Amino acid sequence: MRRSNTLLGLLLVLSLICETTWAVSGSSSCKQRKMTALRPHSVSITEFGAIGDGVTLNTIAFQNAIFYLRSFADKGGAQLFVPAGKWLTGSFSLISHLTLSLDKDAVILGSTDSIDWPLIDPLPSYGRGRELPGERHQSLIHGSNLKDVVITGDNGTIDGQGSVWWDWFHNKNLNYTRPHLVEFINSTGVVISNLTFSNSPFWAIHPVYCSQVHVQRVTILAPLDSPNTDGIDPDSSTDVCIEDCYISTGDDIIAIKSGWDEHGISYARPSSNINIYRILGRTGDGAGIAIGSEMSGGVSEVRAEDIHLFDSKHGIRIKTSAGRGGYVKNILVSDVIMENVDMAIMITGQYGEHPDEQYNPNALPLIERITIKDVVGTNIRLAGLLNGIEGDDPFEVCLSNIMFNVSSELPWNCSSITGYSDMVSPNVCEPLRRVPEDSSVCYSTDSQGSSSLLVL
Protein backbone atom coordinates (compact mmCIF):
# COMPACT_ATOMS: atom_id res chain seq x y z
CA MET A 1 0.00 0.00 0.00
CA ARG A 2 2.84 2.44 0.80
CA ARG A 3 4.45 1.75 -2.56
CA SER A 4 1.11 2.23 -4.36
CA ASN A 5 0.45 5.57 -2.65
CA THR A 6 3.96 6.78 -3.40
CA LEU A 7 3.65 5.84 -7.06
CA LEU A 8 0.26 7.52 -7.33
CA GLY A 9 1.62 10.66 -5.66
CA LEU A 10 4.54 10.80 -8.07
CA LEU A 11 2.20 10.40 -11.05
CA LEU A 12 0.04 13.23 -9.75
CA VAL A 13 3.12 15.43 -9.33
CA LEU A 14 4.25 14.71 -12.88
CA SER A 15 0.76 15.37 -14.20
CA LEU A 16 0.54 18.74 -12.47
CA ILE A 17 4.05 19.69 -13.58
CA CYS A 18 3.15 18.95 -17.19
CA GLU A 19 0.02 21.07 -16.95
CA THR A 20 1.69 23.98 -15.15
CA THR A 21 3.66 26.76 -16.78
CA TRP A 22 5.74 28.62 -14.23
CA ALA A 23 6.50 31.65 -16.39
CA VAL A 24 3.89 32.48 -19.01
CA SER A 25 5.43 34.85 -21.52
CA GLY A 26 3.10 37.58 -22.68
CA SER A 27 0.11 36.49 -20.61
CA SER A 28 -1.31 37.28 -17.21
CA SER A 29 -3.88 35.88 -14.81
CA CYS A 30 -4.43 39.31 -13.28
CA LYS A 31 -5.88 42.37 -14.86
CA GLN A 32 -3.03 44.15 -16.59
CA ARG A 33 -1.91 47.31 -14.86
CA LYS A 34 -1.60 50.30 -17.11
CA MET A 35 2.14 50.75 -17.45
CA THR A 36 3.63 53.47 -19.59
CA ALA A 37 5.74 51.58 -22.14
CA LEU A 38 7.78 54.63 -23.10
CA ARG A 39 8.21 57.67 -20.88
CA PRO A 40 8.61 60.85 -22.93
CA HIS A 41 11.86 61.74 -21.17
CA SER A 42 14.75 59.53 -20.13
CA VAL A 43 18.10 60.14 -18.48
CA SER A 44 20.95 57.90 -17.41
CA ILE A 45 22.31 57.89 -13.89
CA THR A 46 25.74 58.59 -15.39
CA GLU A 47 24.54 62.07 -16.40
CA PHE A 48 24.51 62.94 -12.70
CA GLY A 49 28.05 61.84 -11.96
CA ALA A 50 27.40 58.25 -10.91
CA ILE A 51 30.30 55.81 -11.21
CA GLY A 52 29.54 52.11 -11.55
CA ASP A 53 32.70 50.65 -10.04
CA GLY A 54 31.05 49.05 -7.02
CA VAL A 55 33.11 51.27 -4.69
CA THR A 56 32.01 54.86 -5.26
CA LEU A 57 28.92 55.83 -3.26
CA ASN A 58 26.27 57.17 -5.65
CA THR A 59 23.47 58.16 -3.27
CA ILE A 60 23.66 61.85 -4.19
CA ALA A 61 23.64 61.02 -7.90
CA PHE A 62 20.42 59.01 -7.52
CA GLN A 63 18.83 61.72 -5.40
CA ASN A 64 19.83 64.49 -7.84
CA ALA A 65 18.60 62.53 -10.86
CA ILE A 66 15.20 61.94 -9.30
CA PHE A 67 14.95 65.57 -8.17
CA TYR A 68 15.62 66.67 -11.75
CA LEU A 69 12.97 64.30 -13.13
CA ARG A 70 10.27 65.83 -10.90
CA SER A 71 9.74 68.51 -13.55
CA PHE A 72 8.48 65.86 -15.98
CA ALA A 73 5.84 64.35 -13.67
CA ASP A 74 3.03 66.35 -15.28
CA LYS A 75 4.39 65.76 -18.79
CA GLY A 76 3.88 62.01 -18.99
CA GLY A 77 6.59 61.13 -16.53
CA ALA A 78 10.21 60.12 -17.02
CA GLN A 79 12.63 57.21 -16.90
CA LEU A 80 15.84 56.88 -14.93
CA PHE A 81 18.07 54.36 -16.67
CA VAL A 82 20.81 52.46 -14.85
CA PRO A 83 23.35 51.07 -17.35
CA ALA A 84 25.73 48.14 -16.92
CA GLY A 85 27.94 48.46 -13.86
CA LYS A 86 27.87 48.10 -10.09
CA TRP A 87 26.21 51.15 -8.59
CA LEU A 88 26.79 51.43 -4.84
CA THR A 89 24.21 53.60 -3.07
CA GLY A 90 22.41 54.34 0.13
CA SER A 91 18.66 54.71 0.40
CA PHE A 92 16.88 56.93 -2.13
CA SER A 93 13.21 57.81 -2.75
CA LEU A 94 11.26 57.58 -5.99
CA ILE A 95 8.60 59.98 -7.32
CA SER A 96 5.28 59.57 -9.11
CA HIS A 97 5.16 58.90 -12.85
CA LEU A 98 8.67 57.47 -12.83
CA THR A 99 10.21 54.34 -14.30
CA LEU A 100 13.45 53.08 -12.77
CA SER A 101 14.91 50.80 -15.44
CA LEU A 102 18.00 48.59 -15.11
CA ASP A 103 20.18 47.20 -17.88
CA LYS A 104 20.66 43.42 -17.81
CA ASP A 105 24.20 43.91 -16.50
CA ALA A 106 23.30 46.64 -14.01
CA VAL A 107 23.60 45.95 -10.28
CA ILE A 108 22.37 48.45 -7.69
CA LEU A 109 24.30 47.67 -4.49
CA GLY A 110 23.08 48.71 -1.06
CA SER A 111 25.68 50.37 1.14
CA THR A 112 27.03 48.29 4.02
CA ASP A 113 27.17 51.39 6.26
CA SER A 114 23.98 51.82 8.27
CA ILE A 115 24.35 55.60 8.19
CA ASP A 116 23.42 55.47 4.49
CA TRP A 117 20.00 54.02 5.40
CA PRO A 118 18.24 56.93 7.18
CA LEU A 119 15.73 56.46 9.98
CA ILE A 120 12.00 56.93 9.40
CA ASP A 121 8.90 56.74 11.60
CA PRO A 122 7.38 53.36 12.43
CA LEU A 123 4.29 52.32 10.52
CA PRO A 124 1.11 53.35 12.41
CA SER A 125 -0.35 49.84 12.05
CA TYR A 126 2.70 48.45 13.89
CA GLY A 127 3.23 51.21 16.45
CA ARG A 128 7.00 50.61 16.49
CA GLY A 129 9.70 49.03 14.42
CA ARG A 130 8.99 45.38 13.72
CA GLU A 131 12.15 44.24 15.53
CA LEU A 132 12.85 47.03 18.01
CA PRO A 133 10.85 49.89 19.53
CA GLY A 134 11.08 53.30 17.90
CA GLU A 135 12.15 54.28 14.42
CA ARG A 136 13.28 51.96 11.63
CA HIS A 137 15.72 52.15 8.74
CA GLN A 138 14.32 53.31 5.40
CA SER A 139 14.34 50.80 2.54
CA LEU A 140 17.02 50.99 -0.13
CA ILE A 141 14.43 52.00 -2.74
CA HIS A 142 11.59 53.89 -1.09
CA GLY A 143 8.35 55.49 -2.18
CA SER A 144 5.58 57.24 -0.26
CA ASN A 145 2.26 58.67 -1.50
CA LEU A 146 3.11 57.90 -5.12
CA LYS A 147 1.11 57.15 -8.25
CA ASP A 148 2.18 55.34 -11.41
CA VAL A 149 5.66 54.13 -10.49
CA VAL A 150 7.57 51.30 -12.16
CA ILE A 151 10.72 49.39 -11.23
CA THR A 152 11.74 47.18 -14.13
CA GLY A 153 14.53 46.18 -16.47
CA ASP A 154 16.14 43.42 -18.47
CA ASN A 155 16.71 41.23 -15.39
CA GLY A 156 19.20 43.56 -13.78
CA THR A 157 19.87 43.13 -10.07
CA ILE A 158 19.13 45.05 -6.88
CA ASP A 159 21.42 43.65 -4.18
CA GLY A 160 20.97 44.78 -0.58
CA GLN A 161 24.27 43.23 0.57
CA GLY A 162 22.35 42.14 3.63
CA SER A 163 24.96 39.92 5.31
CA VAL A 164 26.20 42.78 7.50
CA TRP A 165 22.64 43.34 8.73
CA TRP A 166 22.15 39.63 9.39
CA ASP A 167 25.34 39.62 11.48
CA TRP A 168 24.14 42.62 13.48
CA PHE A 169 20.84 40.82 14.06
CA HIS A 170 22.47 37.57 15.22
CA ASN A 171 24.92 39.45 17.45
CA LYS A 172 22.15 41.68 18.89
CA ASN A 173 23.93 44.80 17.67
CA LEU A 174 20.92 46.39 15.98
CA ASN A 175 19.75 49.75 17.28
CA TYR A 176 16.73 49.96 14.97
CA THR A 177 14.65 47.63 12.81
CA ARG A 178 16.43 46.48 9.67
CA PRO A 179 15.45 48.01 6.29
CA HIS A 180 13.57 46.41 3.43
CA LEU A 181 15.02 46.28 -0.06
CA VAL A 182 11.97 47.98 -1.64
CA GLU A 183 9.07 49.57 0.24
CA PHE A 184 6.12 51.57 -1.07
CA ILE A 185 3.77 53.32 1.39
CA ASN A 186 0.32 54.73 0.54
CA SER A 187 0.97 54.35 -3.17
CA THR A 188 -1.23 53.42 -6.14
CA GLY A 189 -0.34 51.91 -9.49
CA VAL A 190 2.94 50.17 -8.61
CA VAL A 191 4.62 47.78 -11.05
CA ILE A 192 7.73 45.73 -10.21
CA SER A 193 8.93 43.37 -12.94
CA ASN A 194 11.78 41.62 -14.73
CA LEU A 195 14.45 42.04 -12.07
CA THR A 196 16.45 40.04 -9.54
CA PHE A 197 16.36 41.13 -5.90
CA SER A 198 19.04 39.60 -3.71
CA ASN A 199 20.31 39.68 -0.14
CA SER A 200 17.73 41.97 1.39
CA PRO A 201 18.57 43.07 4.95
CA PHE A 202 14.97 42.27 5.97
CA TRP A 203 11.78 41.68 3.91
CA ALA A 204 12.60 42.19 0.24
CA ILE A 205 9.49 43.79 -1.33
CA HIS A 206 7.00 45.44 1.03
CA PRO A 207 3.97 47.33 -0.36
CA VAL A 208 2.08 48.75 2.63
CA TYR A 209 -1.19 50.76 2.52
CA CYS A 210 -1.00 50.39 -1.28
CA SER A 211 -3.45 49.52 -4.06
CA GLN A 212 -3.10 48.29 -7.64
CA VAL A 213 0.24 46.58 -7.14
CA HIS A 214 1.59 44.18 -9.77
CA VAL A 215 4.75 42.14 -9.14
CA GLN A 216 5.66 39.80 -11.97
CA ARG A 217 8.62 37.89 -13.35
CA VAL A 218 10.96 38.68 -10.50
CA THR A 219 13.60 36.51 -8.86
CA ILE A 220 14.24 37.00 -5.15
CA LEU A 221 17.28 35.34 -3.57
CA ALA A 222 18.75 35.17 -0.08
CA PRO A 223 20.60 32.39 1.77
CA LEU A 224 18.29 29.83 3.34
CA ASP A 225 19.72 30.65 6.78
CA SER A 226 19.34 34.44 6.46
CA PRO A 227 16.97 35.82 9.14
CA ASN A 228 13.55 37.23 8.23
CA THR A 229 14.33 37.66 4.54
CA ASP A 230 10.72 37.33 3.34
CA GLY A 231 10.26 37.59 -0.40
CA ILE A 232 7.09 39.64 -1.02
CA ASP A 233 4.90 40.92 1.84
CA PRO A 234 1.69 42.73 0.83
CA ASP A 235 0.68 44.60 3.98
CA SER A 236 -2.66 46.39 4.51
CA SER A 237 -2.89 46.55 0.72
CA THR A 238 -5.61 45.87 -1.85
CA ASP A 239 -5.74 44.73 -5.47
CA VAL A 240 -2.36 43.05 -5.48
CA CYS A 241 -1.18 40.61 -8.14
CA ILE A 242 1.97 38.51 -7.75
CA GLU A 243 2.79 36.10 -10.57
CA ASP A 244 5.51 34.16 -12.38
CA CYS A 245 8.21 34.52 -9.73
CA TYR A 246 11.07 32.39 -8.41
CA ILE A 247 11.81 33.04 -4.73
CA SER A 248 14.41 31.32 -2.55
CA THR A 249 14.85 32.95 0.85
CA GLY A 250 15.43 32.39 4.56
CA ASP A 251 11.83 33.11 5.56
CA ASP A 252 8.34 33.28 4.03
CA ILE A 253 8.23 33.33 0.23
CA ILE A 254 5.04 35.41 0.25
CA ALA A 255 3.47 36.66 3.51
CA ILE A 256 0.24 38.66 3.62
CA LYS A 257 -0.04 41.03 6.60
CA SER A 258 -2.21 43.85 7.95
CA GLY A 259 -0.84 45.33 11.15
CA TRP A 260 0.15 44.21 14.62
CA ASP A 261 -2.19 43.76 17.59
CA GLU A 262 -3.83 46.91 19.00
CA HIS A 263 -2.04 49.11 16.45
CA GLY A 264 -3.36 47.12 13.50
CA ILE A 265 -6.83 46.93 15.03
CA SER A 266 -6.91 50.71 15.54
CA TYR A 267 -5.48 51.56 12.10
CA ALA A 268 -7.97 49.15 10.48
CA ARG A 269 -6.43 48.79 7.03
CA PRO A 270 -7.13 45.27 5.74
CA SER A 271 -5.39 43.36 2.99
CA SER A 272 -7.88 42.15 0.37
CA ASN A 273 -8.09 40.96 -3.21
CA ILE A 274 -4.63 39.42 -3.23
CA ASN A 275 -3.98 37.17 -6.25
CA ILE A 276 -0.92 34.92 -6.44
CA TYR A 277 -0.15 32.73 -9.46
CA ARG A 278 2.68 30.49 -10.63
CA ILE A 279 5.24 30.77 -7.87
CA LEU A 280 8.24 28.45 -7.67
CA GLY A 281 10.48 28.55 -4.63
CA ARG A 282 11.88 27.32 -1.36
CA THR A 283 12.41 28.71 2.12
CA GLY A 284 14.77 27.90 4.93
CA ASP A 285 12.65 28.74 7.97
CA GLY A 286 9.35 30.06 6.64
CA ALA A 287 6.43 29.04 4.43
CA GLY A 288 5.63 29.17 0.76
CA ILE A 289 2.35 31.00 1.23
CA ALA A 290 1.83 32.61 4.65
CA ILE A 291 -0.78 34.86 6.23
CA GLY A 292 0.26 36.75 9.35
CA SER A 293 1.28 36.70 11.94
CA GLU A 294 0.55 40.44 11.80
CA MET A 295 -3.06 40.33 10.53
CA SER A 296 -4.92 42.56 13.00
CA GLY A 297 -6.43 44.79 10.31
CA GLY A 298 -7.93 41.75 8.57
CA VAL A 299 -7.05 39.63 5.53
CA SER A 300 -9.66 38.46 3.02
CA GLU A 301 -10.29 37.51 -0.62
CA VAL A 302 -6.96 35.78 -1.22
CA ARG A 303 -6.39 33.42 -4.13
CA ALA A 304 -3.11 31.53 -4.57
CA GLU A 305 -2.76 28.85 -7.23
CA ASP A 306 -0.09 27.01 -9.22
CA ILE A 307 2.44 27.02 -6.38
CA HIS A 308 5.50 24.72 -6.45
CA LEU A 309 7.48 24.46 -3.21
CA PHE A 310 10.54 22.35 -2.54
CA ASP A 311 13.17 21.85 0.20
CA SER A 312 11.21 24.01 2.65
CA LYS A 313 10.20 24.03 6.30
CA HIS A 314 6.50 24.89 5.78
CA GLY A 315 4.18 24.81 2.80
CA ILE A 316 1.00 26.76 3.60
CA ARG A 317 0.85 28.63 6.89
CA ILE A 318 -1.59 30.90 8.78
CA LYS A 319 -0.14 32.51 11.92
CA THR A 320 -2.15 34.34 14.56
CA SER A 321 -2.74 34.46 18.32
CA ALA A 322 -4.88 35.85 21.09
CA GLY A 323 -4.35 39.61 21.07
CA ARG A 324 -4.27 39.89 17.28
CA GLY A 325 -7.99 40.44 16.74
CA GLY A 326 -8.83 40.94 13.09
CA TYR A 327 -9.84 38.16 10.73
CA VAL A 328 -8.59 35.82 8.03
CA LYS A 329 -11.43 34.75 5.76
CA ASN A 330 -12.27 33.84 2.18
CA ILE A 331 -8.92 32.25 1.37
CA LEU A 332 -8.33 29.77 -1.46
CA VAL A 333 -5.01 27.98 -2.03
CA SER A 334 -5.07 25.44 -4.85
CA ASP A 335 -2.98 23.52 -7.36
CA VAL A 336 0.06 23.12 -5.13
CA ILE A 337 3.03 20.79 -5.51
CA MET A 338 5.31 20.22 -2.51
CA GLU A 339 8.54 18.24 -2.51
CA ASN A 340 10.69 17.67 0.57
CA VAL A 341 8.66 19.91 2.87
CA ASP A 342 8.82 19.39 6.63
CA MET A 343 5.24 20.49 7.46
CA ALA A 344 2.79 20.83 4.59
CA ILE A 345 -0.04 22.81 6.22
CA MET A 346 0.23 24.76 9.47
CA ILE A 347 -2.53 26.87 10.99
CA THR A 348 -1.69 28.12 14.47
CA GLY A 349 -3.38 30.34 17.02
CA GLN A 350 -0.37 30.36 19.33
CA TYR A 351 2.02 32.64 17.42
CA GLY A 352 2.19 34.95 20.41
CA GLU A 353 4.76 37.65 19.62
CA HIS A 354 3.41 41.09 20.65
CA PRO A 355 4.66 44.66 20.10
CA ASP A 356 4.24 45.78 23.73
CA GLU A 357 2.23 45.12 26.88
CA GLN A 358 -0.74 47.24 25.76
CA TYR A 359 -2.37 44.61 23.56
CA ASN A 360 -5.73 43.15 24.57
CA PRO A 361 -5.38 39.39 25.19
CA ASN A 362 -9.14 39.06 24.71
CA ALA A 363 -8.92 40.33 21.12
CA LEU A 364 -9.41 37.00 19.38
CA PRO A 365 -9.05 36.55 15.61
CA LEU A 366 -11.80 35.20 13.35
CA ILE A 367 -10.56 32.47 11.00
CA GLU A 368 -13.18 31.19 8.56
CA ARG A 369 -13.76 29.94 5.02
CA ILE A 370 -10.19 28.74 4.50
CA THR A 371 -10.05 26.32 1.55
CA ILE A 372 -7.00 24.32 0.50
CA LYS A 373 -7.46 21.96 -2.42
CA ASP A 374 -5.71 20.07 -5.21
CA VAL A 375 -2.41 19.56 -3.41
CA VAL A 376 0.16 16.79 -3.83
CA GLY A 377 3.28 16.34 -1.75
CA THR A 378 6.18 13.89 -1.72
CA ASN A 379 8.66 13.41 1.11
CA ILE A 380 6.49 15.29 3.61
CA ARG A 381 7.26 14.76 7.31
CA LEU A 382 3.98 16.08 8.78
CA ALA A 383 0.81 16.64 6.77
CA GLY A 384 -0.73 19.24 9.03
CA LEU A 385 -0.60 21.02 12.37
CA LEU A 386 -3.97 22.74 12.71
CA ASN A 387 -4.39 24.33 16.14
CA GLY A 388 -6.83 27.14 16.86
CA ILE A 389 -7.29 29.06 20.11
CA GLU A 390 -8.99 27.34 23.01
CA GLY A 391 -12.01 29.39 24.04
CA ASP A 392 -12.25 31.16 20.66
CA ASP A 393 -14.62 30.13 17.87
CA PRO A 394 -13.03 27.14 16.12
CA PHE A 395 -11.04 27.95 13.01
CA GLU A 396 -13.00 26.91 9.89
CA VAL A 397 -11.02 24.94 7.28
CA CYS A 398 -11.91 22.95 4.17
CA LEU A 399 -9.51 20.43 2.62
CA SER A 400 -10.15 18.74 -0.72
CA ASN A 401 -8.24 16.48 -3.11
CA ILE A 402 -5.01 16.39 -1.11
CA MET A 403 -2.46 13.58 -1.21
CA PHE A 404 0.73 13.57 0.84
CA ASN A 405 3.44 10.93 1.06
CA VAL A 406 4.12 11.36 4.80
CA SER A 407 6.87 9.88 6.98
CA SER A 408 5.31 10.64 10.39
CA GLU A 409 3.19 7.98 12.07
CA LEU A 410 0.88 10.77 13.30
CA PRO A 411 0.43 12.84 10.12
CA TRP A 412 -2.19 15.31 11.47
CA ASN A 413 -2.42 17.21 14.76
CA CYS A 414 -5.64 19.22 15.24
CA SER A 415 -7.38 21.22 17.97
CA SER A 416 -10.02 24.00 18.00
CA ILE A 417 -10.62 23.33 14.30
CA THR A 418 -13.82 22.63 12.40
CA GLY A 419 -14.67 22.19 8.75
CA TYR A 420 -14.85 19.62 6.01
CA SER A 421 -12.59 17.32 4.03
CA ASP A 422 -12.92 15.22 0.91
CA MET A 423 -10.37 12.91 -0.72
CA VAL A 424 -7.54 13.63 1.72
CA SER A 425 -4.69 11.16 2.22
CA PRO A 426 -3.50 10.31 4.79
CA ASN A 427 -6.84 10.51 6.63
CA VAL A 428 -7.32 13.89 8.20
CA CYS A 429 -8.11 14.45 11.90
CA GLU A 430 -11.59 13.77 13.23
CA PRO A 431 -12.88 17.42 13.44
CA LEU A 432 -12.59 17.71 9.64
CA ARG A 433 -14.20 14.36 8.76
CA ARG A 434 -17.68 15.74 8.21
CA VAL A 435 -19.88 17.99 6.10
CA PRO A 436 -20.82 21.09 8.12
CA GLU A 437 -24.42 22.27 8.28
CA ASP A 438 -23.31 25.61 6.85
CA SER A 439 -21.42 24.87 3.63
CA SER A 440 -20.27 28.50 3.42
CA VAL A 441 -17.20 27.57 5.44
CA CYS A 442 -15.78 26.45 2.07
CA TYR A 443 -14.69 29.23 -0.24
CA SER A 444 -13.70 29.66 -3.86
CA THR A 445 -13.53 32.33 -6.55
CA ASP A 446 -14.71 32.24 -10.11
CA SER A 447 -12.52 33.05 -13.11
CA GLN A 448 -13.46 36.73 -12.94
CA GLY A 449 -12.21 36.98 -9.35
CA SER A 450 -15.60 37.50 -7.70
CA SER A 451 -16.35 35.42 -4.64
CA SER A 452 -18.52 32.32 -4.69
CA LEU A 453 -19.06 29.24 -2.59
CA LEU A 454 -17.02 26.16 -3.39
CA VAL A 455 -19.01 22.99 -3.94
CA LEU A 456 -16.82 20.09 -2.83
- Residues with a known catalytic role: 251
Largest distance between two CA atoms of the chain: 71
Q: For the chain, how many residues are written?
A: 456
Q: Are β-strands 451-453 and 417-425 bridged in parallel, bridged antiparallel, or unpaired?
A: unpaired
* Residue 321 neighbours by CB under 8 Å, 6+ apart: 293, 348, 349, 350, 351, 352, 353, 365, 389
DSSP-assigned letter for residue 48: G
User: Considering just the CA atoms, what is the radius of gyration of the chain in Å?
Assistant: 22
Q: Of all helices (H) and strands (E), which one includes residue 419?
A: strand 417-425
HSE (side-chain half, CA atoms, 13 Å) at 412: 19
Q: 310-324: b or e for each residue (b if 16 or more CB lie within 10 Å)?
A: bebbbbbbbbbbbbb
Burial tier of 75 (Cβ tally within 10 Å: 0-12, 13-18, 19+): exposed
**Do 323 and 363 form a contact (C-beta atoms < 8 A)?**
yes
